[in-house]
Structure 1
Amino acid sequence: MASGSRQTCPGRRRRPWQDPPGARRRDRPHLVGYLRQLEDRVTEAAPARARIGRVCVARSARSAGVASQLMQAAVASAGAREQVLDAQAHLEHWYARFGFTAASDVFLEGDIPHVTMVRPAPGIG
């Protein structure tokens, strides 16, 4: 973690994506939270999965439930697909509130301990 409030991850750079729908509120015209959803490809060993690639909330909006709202929307949008994410290890219990369970040992990503977590498709597991 870099000094201040910003993380640095080797090999990553900022990308100029548009704000996702609902990311801006009228009382806060700037971006306060972001959740990136991706689709894992189908392989012979695994069906398509919904992947949560990044969840971040502006320091000024933390403890206001923004991340929880983003996660609830992501879980709802997964439909019948399994979901997977790589959580920072210290947030494992937070993601468990949304039905995710650890599926790997702790590993380093950008010098930050992470754990892969999975949420089964509805009706499975």
Structure 2
Amino acid sequence: MMMGPLRFLSVPLMCGVRFLSSGAVSRAGSKWRLGVGLSKSGSGYGPLTDRPDWSFADGTPAPPLKGQIRRRMESEKMARRIVMLTNEMERGKERWTEQQERLQRQEEERQLNLPIPKGWKGGSLRAKSPTKSAA
């Protein structure tokens, strides 16, 4: 016996569908936090995140948690990158200044090596244009 296409797929299902979104909840208060100088989320940085949760009774601090170690390493990596980029910018500024000075010296040398214009009569050779005789 040959069966036709499945018909139950064409029947619309009338089920109640609820859409849940956690996006707004996870960002609740982020504008306020940013406005007062805190991190976008509550666990980004600050004393509640970076300080240990507990300490021993004798006062010795607790060993750092994995998240604290990771955040410390990320901070150190970012600091090293900032120092490296700052040094790179300083070297670039120095090279640009040296290049501008070299170009200025080359231009001055070129001006000194210009031939003396025809009909030049006294005075500074390169400061003024040649005088024209009155016709």
Q: Which has the higher strand share?
A: 1
Does TM-score exceed 0.5, indicating one fold?
no
Q: TM-score, normalised by structure 2?
A: 0.16
Name the one with the larger helix percent: 2
Structure whose CA Rg is larger: 2
When normalised by structure 1's length, the TM-score is 0.17
Higher relative contact order (CA 8 A, sep 6+): 1
